[in-house]
Amino acid sequence: MSTSSSSSDNSDAPIKDANGAKTKAARISRREFGLDAAVAAALSLSVSPSGLLGERRDRDTISPAIAASEQDSLGPKLTAEQSRDVEAKLANIIRKYGERLSEEQRKHLRRILAYNETMLAPIRAFTLQNGDPPVTVLKLSSGKNNE
Amino acid sequence: MLSEDILYLSVRELGERIRGGKLSPVELAESFLARSEALGPKLNAYATITRDLALQQARTAEKEIASGHYRGPLHGVPYAAKDLVAVQGYPTTWGARPLAKQSFDYNATVIERLNRAGAVLIGKAAMIELAGGLGYSAGDASLTGPCKNPWNTKYWTCGSSSGSGAIVSAALAPWAIGSDTRGSIICPTSWCGISGMRPSFGRVSRHGAMAIAWTMDKLGPMARTADDCGLVLSVLAGNDPLDFDSLPAGVSDFVYTGAESEPAKPLRIGRLTNVWNQQEAGLEAAVDAALKVLEKNGATIADVEMPDGPYEEAAELTILMESASAFQELIASGRCADLIDPVGRINGYASQEFSVGDYLQVQRVRTFLQTQVDKLFDRFDVLATAGESSAAAPLNAPPEEDSAGPIERRAPDGISSLCGLPAISVPCGLSKDKLPFGVQFIGRALNDHAVIAAARRFQSHTDWHKMRPPIS
């Protein structure tokens, strides 16, 4: 693991975000993660749950269009639509918080947003019906909580 | 000062000696405090040592037990609590520089339960800042510096329950509270060579504990043995109206004495064959050897694959999305800039850009993923794999570039955390660098007994859990 100075802005640090335990050996390769997810999104506009759960994706089938997408060389490959989403989100962050962010941090944010897009792709591709509920549900309160 | 042999005893053994009048709670607390004060700073293991409280609780325990008022197996037994659990009268920093002076005027529910059980709080354990809730890229992302592994102080403990792992491993306390949103108990447990358990979601109240992701956060015990995890969990578990995700009374309770009879049917273990892309040399053999021990002692072992699906994406996105809300004040105020890790300083801004539609889509997909995983438990009581894909990583390793190779889509921490499944990791060997390997057992939701039973059976036939790190 890195022992880089805590005061430095190490924007090249690998993204190991938002979970308790990420380790060098166990870390998800988010570039590969993104690549795989982008392939999935490109190959299937509408994927049934059974199809998504049962089908293993072959990273060698990446399309030329994705491979040639205009991306930061350090970030994942994105579709044109994903790239537009990243730029729109980055613009919104800069609109709200731009005064706080260095150029390096803005570049780092672009990479994070790109990874987030690739993670969203297979989730958005998952076909759901109107009545399929989220795991978050309202817990009724009727005087005695949870009883 | 009690001997190291005493300080490395299990919670059960310490409790029995205390109950029998063979061990003084005050002397025990003083010994653990002295060891914590001597070795804790070398490991960056503690955020705060609660000396005054510990001695007051130990004296009370000693008097109560002497007068015949015995509260149970944790009475007079010391422990540490991860510094995201509120303890009245002491700082609760969440491991984060912007919150270094934070304190709460109440105790977390788990602390209240332990107070009622007569347990003795030695200190608040160091942790990764915000338990990694806004992201981090290295083990030094902590208010108290990088937590060092007692097996080799040039190596990391893993996170985010870093201090809890180091404290138990080095016998600074016999057990500690950890928290696990996605692997934060299992990984440091594995790397530190101890036994640690992530209970089923909702079994242990999180009231008074820092939230990262409400639908994934769990608290659980890190100890010396699987049996100790069961003992401690029986005290921590139970319904709490103050935690909206607390399981109902009767479901949340966890009755465990250690004297439960073995199930009549053989333990059915599914060996997961597709959950790690790559494992350190020797680890797979260590896990196989562990399973052979169980097979020789009545278990059935069969290979099984975790079903494919966007588990890792769903787990990662859920945490990113919910943590952006949990830490909204830090993000909006800009105080996240005071975090140590460069990822943590900016990641919240990106996470605020997720849409409500995407959040709900993730939570709806999650229902399908739960169903898929749950089906595996029609055939198996527990699933088994390595606790982590390697032994501990060095603290001074250079920042890792995203590596080539297939993704860890089915890494077991994301899958089982996403679905709220109980899991336990126990030591099962040593790497070529003499660092611990762990084997983990994952159970069906609410079947916490199964994972403890599997690990206990393994430990009843092996001595890996009796290994001690070379630190003194």
The pLDDT tens digits of the residues spanning B84-130 come to 999 999 999 999 999 999 999 999 999 999 999 999 999 999 999 99
What is the rounded average pLDDT of the residues B233-239?
98
Catalytic residues of B: 82, 160, 184
Distance from CA of A42 to the nearest CA of B (A): 15
- Residue B161: pLDDT above 50? yes
ipTM: 0.92
Q: B404–A32: do the CB atoms touch at under 8 Å?
A: yes
Please give the pLDDT value at position B260.
Answer: 76
At B270, the pLDDT band (50, 70, 90 cuts) reads very high
Amino acid (1-letter code) at residue B3: S
A118 occurs within a structural domain: yes
The number of helix segments (H) and strand segments (E) in chain B equals 15, 13
CA atoms of A33 and B315, how far apart (whole Å): 13
Q: A105–B133: do the CB atoms touch at under 8 Å?
A: no
The β-bridge relationship of strands B78-82 and B120-125 is parallel
**Residue B120: which of B5, B26, B34 has the closest Cα?**
B26
- Annotate B383-443 with DSSP letters as a single string: EEEESSSSSPPBTTPPPPPPPSS---TT-HHHHHHHTT--EEEEEEEE-TTS-EEEEEEEE
First-residue to last-residue Cα distance in chain A: 46
Q: B138–A132: do the CB atoms touch at under 8 Å?
A: no
**Residue B113: which of B256, B199, B237 has the closest Cα?**
B237
Q: Which of B138, B362, B400 sits opposite A123 (nearest CB)?
A: B362
What is the rounded average pLDDT of the residues B331-343?
97
CA atoms of A116 and A88, how far apart (whole Å): 13
**Residue B196: which of B178, B181, B171 has the closest Cα?**
B178
Please give the pLDDT value at position A31.
Answer: 31
CA atoms of B214 and A135, how far apart (whole Å): 11
At A23, the pLDDT band (50, 70, 90 cuts) reads very low
At A11, the pLDDT band (50, 70, 90 cuts) reads very low
Please give the pLDDT value at position B259.
Answer: 84
**Residue A110: which of A96, A83, A90 has the closest Cα?**
A90
Q: What is the dihedral of CA B266, B267, B273, B277, to 10 degrees?
A: -160
* Probe site for chain B from A15, A19, A56 (most B CB atoms < 10 A): A19
How many CB pairs below 8 A link A and B?
A: 284
At B472, the pLDDT band (50, 70, 90 cuts) reads confident
**Residue B159: which of B193, B127, B199 has the closest Cα?**
B127
Quickly count: other Cβ atoms within 10 Å of residue B434's Cβ: 12
Can you read off the two tokens belonging to residue B34? 């002295």
- Please check whether residue B387 is in contact with residue B424, taking contact to mean a CB–CB distance below 8 angstroms: no
Query: At B181, is the secondary structure helix, strand, or coil?
Result: coil
Q: Which of B132, B346, B389 sits opposite A19 (nearest CB)?
A: B132
Query: Cβ neighbours of residue B332 under 8 Å, at least 6 residues apart?
Result: none
Q: Which of A133, A144, A146 sits opposite B367 (nearest CB)?
A: A133
A66 occurs within a structural domain: yes
Query: Cβ neighbours of residue B326 under 8 Å, at least 6 residues apart?
Result: B133, B211, B212, B213, B214
- Please check whether residue B25 is in contact with residue B58, taking contact to mean a CB–CB distance below 8 angstroms: yes
Domain boundaries, given as residue ranges, for chain B: 9-309+364-395+410-466
User: How confident is the prediction for chain B on average, in pLDDT?
Assistant: 95
- Residue A6: pLDDT above 80? no
CA distances from B422 to A30, B42, B122, B221, B412 (A): 26, 33, 27, 12, 12
A1 occurs within a structural domain: no
> By CB neighbour count within 10 A (0-12 exposed, 13-18 middle, 19+ buried), where does B436 fall?
buried
What is the rounded average pLDDT of the residues B336-362?
97
Please give the pLDDT value at position B438.
Answer: 98
Distance from CA of A120 to the nearest CA of B (A): 7
Distance from CA of B28 to the nearest CA of A (A): 32
A4 occurs within a structural domain: no
Distance from CA of A130 to the nearest CA of B (A): 10
Q: Which of A29, A93, A122 sits opposite B349 (nearest CB)?
A: A93
Distance from CA of A131 to the nearest CA of B (A): 10
Please give the pLDDT value at position B413.
Answer: 86
Q: What are phi and psi of B77, to 5 degrees?
A: -95, 125
State the sign of the Cα–Cα–Cα–Cα dihedral B45, B201, B427, B314. Answer: negative
Please give the pLDDT value at position A135.
Answer: 87
Quickly count: other Cβ atoms within 10 Å of residue B64's Cβ: 16
- Please check whether residue B326 is in contact with residue B211, taking contact to mean a CB–CB distance below 8 angstroms: yes
Q: A25–B406: do the CB atoms touch at under 8 Å?
A: no
Q: What is the pLDDT of residues A59-108, one digit of tens each?
A: 222 222 333 333 444 568 899 999 999 999 999 999 999 999 999 999 99
Buried b (16+ CB within 10 A) or exposed e, A71-109: beeebbbbbeebbebbeebbeebeeebeeebeeebebbb
At B308, the pLDDT band (50, 70, 90 cuts) reads confident
Q: Which of A18, A54, A132 sits opposite B135 (nearest CB)?
A: A18
Given CATH 3.90.1300.10, say whether it is the number of domain B9-309+364-395+410-466: yes
At B411, the pLDDT band (50, 70, 90 cuts) reads confident
Can you read off the two tokens belonging to residue B155? 């190596």
What is the rounded average pLDDT of the residues A35-51?
34
Degrees to nearest 5, angle at CA B418 with B415 and B422: 80
Question: How many independent structural domains does chain A possess?
Answer: 1
Can you read off the two tokens belonging to residue B323? 């943590």
At A143, the pLDDT band (50, 70, 90 cuts) reads low
Residues of A in contact with B368 (CB under 8 A): 49, 53, 126, 132
Query: Cβ neighbours of residue B244 under 8 Å, at least 6 residues apart?
Result: A139, A145, A146, B214
Residues of B in contact with A21 (CB under 8 A): 132, 158-160, 180, 182-184, 186-188, 388, 413
- Annotate chain A with DSSP letters as a single string: -----TTS--TTSPP--SSS---TTT---HHHHHHHHHHHHHH-SSB-HHHHHH----GGG--HHHHTS---TTS----HHHHHHHHHHHHHHHHHHGGG--HHHHHHHHHHHHHHHHHHHHHHTB---TTPPPS--PPP-SSSTT-
Sheet containing B300-304: which strands, arranged edge to edge?
A: B46-49, B120-125, B78-82, B176-180, B218-223, B195-198, B423-430, B436-443, B382-386, B268-272, B300-304
Quote the domain boundaries for residue A76: 30-124
- Residue A22: pLDDT above 80? no
Q: A109–B349: do the CB atoms touch at under 8 Å?
A: yes
What is the rounded average pLDDT of the residues B307-317?
92
Q: What is the pLDDT of residues B168-223, one digit of tens each?
A: 999 999 999 999 999 999 999 999 999 999 999 999 999 999 999 999 999 999 99
What is the rounded average pLDDT of the residues A26-55?
34
Which residues partner with B197 through β-bridges?
Answer: B424
A136 occurs within a structural domain: no
Residues of A in contact with B320 (CB under 8 A): 17-18, 116
Q: What is the pLDDT of residues B450-461, one digit of tens each?
A: 999 999 999 999
What is the rounded average pLDDT of the residues B256-263?
81
Can you read off the two tokens belonging to residue B382? 């527990």
Tokens 């260095």 belong to A102
State the sign of the Cα–Cα–Cα–Cα dihedral B386, B390, B391, B393. Answer: negative
